[in-house]
Structure 1
Amino acid sequence: MGSKAFAFTFILLILVTIKVIAQAPQPDSVSYSKQAAEAVSYFNTAAGSQAEFVNGPQYTLAPPANKGSHYFQDKNYCVPSLIRFNNTWYKNVPVLYDVFNDQMISFSGNDLFVLQTEKISDVYLLGHHFIRLVNGLPQGFYDLLYEGKTQVLAKRTKMSDDEIIQSQTVKFILDDRTALFVKKDNKYYPVTGRGALTNVFKDKKKEINQYLRDHDLDYKRDREATVTAVAAYYDQIAK
């Protein structure tokens, strides 16, 4: 898809009722409906084109795969987002998350470009809050699922594979992968199962196991909801 076709597709999708809800502590919480179209018009003005983050390397959309895509939620177009770049908040910024390459993409005019990763700390995108970590875990963008005394993070990745059909046809596949982590006492713990989860909170293990039973929480059925609920419960009962 060319850059002009991309721009047309983006505008069309906005006109067909794009709605993004992002919860942000500051500056304002953002609810996009009518304001969605403003993202396009603003960034085609001098003010938008001169924003400090509009200076990254040019980006080209990845070719389609037979299954999945390079992009978060398989959306290969920008949506209005809230970002913190170089400690300054910007809202209504068109953003596309290339999960495969762990890059945040935006555009100015008809040109796609990569937002400078080292200057981005927060991105509110499609109802998710991505933060960029540089310490404790491999550097990159992590989906912040819960934040209290403890913290729950999800690392979204895409795994590529080729599937041979009838010894001739190669099918390019991109599958989603998610790794979960809990931050407790300034340390990050990978959560790979129910046992690993309860061990993170071993000082309240008995209470956690009872909580899982009482609320019918099944790690295998819904990993993210279970880990998030347990972390929040632990924060309530821990001294």
Structure 2
Amino acid sequence: MKYKTLRIILFLLLPASTVFGQHASRDSLFREQAVRYAHNRYVGSTMDQARIYNGAEYVGHSPRIKGHPYLDSLWQVGSITYDGVVYDSIRILHDLVNDVVVVPHLDSVYRVQLQSIKVSRFSIPNHTVVRIVRDTAVNNGLRTGFYDQLYNGRLKVLARRTKTIQTNFVQNTAKEEYLSQNNYYIGKNGVYYPVKSKRSVFNVLADQKRSLRKYLRENRIKFSKNRETAIVKLTQQYDASSR
């Protein structure tokens, strides 16, 4: 039954392209529209049985812990690529403690923890998150997991966002809270370099260090005040100057 609905729709739609004329461009456009229509029909018609809802139940964390364990505190509506299929208008949570993606089940009774190995990427407002698989030949320097894609040019900038649970004892009573940590990486020639300080960024972009220092001064970008923005802007400027 795998992709049966999709195959049937494509079989019915694609031959009809001949009635739209003999021009290759028009035929190509129709095929593109037919495939898009078939995809939407497939996702819509199988939504109640979609594989995206076949994960384990997400239990979550204790509500007594101060703060929240997610990328965003509330559900965010976005799109997700799961097992090769793109699902739009899906409510998404990203648990940064366990580094898992969570969606609500259709009946809204419980939440589903997706199989990370099947999640290629997801997008919510202000974030495009991709799953990177450690590969010494391609993604050298990174652990397998989800990364916030901050810049995707010739160079890349990724943020690894994590949260841990810290326990403090106050008058013999345990108090727990979430602590956030962001680690940044610049990808250059297939290698990802961890960057934290201004110096570490200039070490990666060493061949333009002088002009990049000037760029920071002229644009009044304070690295210490907003490290993430500074890293992205310096990388973008490096790419622009290398053209």
Same fold (TM over 0.5): yes
Instruction: Show the counterpart of 2:112.
Output: 113
Q: Which residue type is aligned with residue 90 of structure 1?
A: Y
Note if 1:69 corresponds to 2:68.
yes
Contact kept? 1:65, 1:174, Cα under 8 Å? no
Q: How many residues align?
A: 193
Note if 1:131 corresponds to 2:135.
no
Give the whole-Å Cα distance in 1 for the aligned partners of 2:164 and 2:60: 18
Note if 1:155 corresponds to 2:152.
no
Deviations 1:40-80 (A, max 9, x none): xxx9x9732211221111112321244222111333xx332
SS of residue in 1 equivalent to 2:165: strand
Q: Which residue type is aligned with residue 139 of structure 1?
A: T
Instruction: Show the counterpart of 1:93.
Output: 90
Contact kept? 2:129, 2:147, Cα under 8 Å? yes
Give the whole-Å Cα distance in 2 for the aligned partners of 1:180 and 1:100: 17
By how many angstroms is 1:196 displaced?
0.1
The unaligned stretches of length 5 or more in structure 2 are 1-42
The unaligned stretches of length 5 or more in structure 1 are 1-42
Tell which deviates more after alignment, 108-117 or 141-150.
108-117
Contact kept? 1:72, 1:99, Cα under 8 Å? yes
- The percentage of aligned residue pairs carrying the same residue is 28
Contact kept? 1:70, 1:98, Cα under 8 Å? yes
Instruction: Tell me the C-alpha RMSD between the 2 structures.
Output: 1.7
Normalised to the residue count of structure 1, the TM-score between the two structures is 0.76
Q: Within 5 A, what are the aligned runs for 1:1-239? A: 47-75=46-74, 78-108=75-105, 109=107, 110-135=109-134, 136=139, 137-166=142-171, 168-239=172-243
SS of residue in 2 equivalent to 1:162: strand
Tell which deviates more after alignment, 59-68 or 217-226.
59-68
Contact kept? 1:67, 1:175, Cα under 8 Å? no
Q: Which residue type is aligned with residue 138 of structure 1?
A: R
Deviations 1:124-170 (A, max 9, x none): 0232000000022101100001110111110000022111112x121
By how many angstroms is 1:215 displaced?
1.1
By how many angstroms is 1:86 displaced?
2.0
Give the whole-Å Cα distance in 1 for the aligned partners of 2:213 and 2:194: 18
By how many angstroms is 1:99 displaced?
0.8
Q: Which residue type is aligned with residue 68 of structure 1?
A: G
Give the whole-Å Cα distance in 2 for the aligned partners of 1:174 and 1:65: 11
Give the whole-Å Cα distance in 2 for the aligned partners of 1:132 and 1:218: 30
Highest RCO, 1 vs 2 (Cα 8 Å, sep ≥ 6) = 1
Higher-helix-fraction structure? 2
Q: Which residue type is aligned with residue 150 of structure 1?
A: L
Q: Which has the larger radius of gyration?
A: 2
By how many angstroms is 1:213 displaced?
1.1
By how many angstroms is 1:116 displaced?
1.5
Give the whole-Å Cα distance in 1 for the aligned partners of 2:121 and 2:217: 35
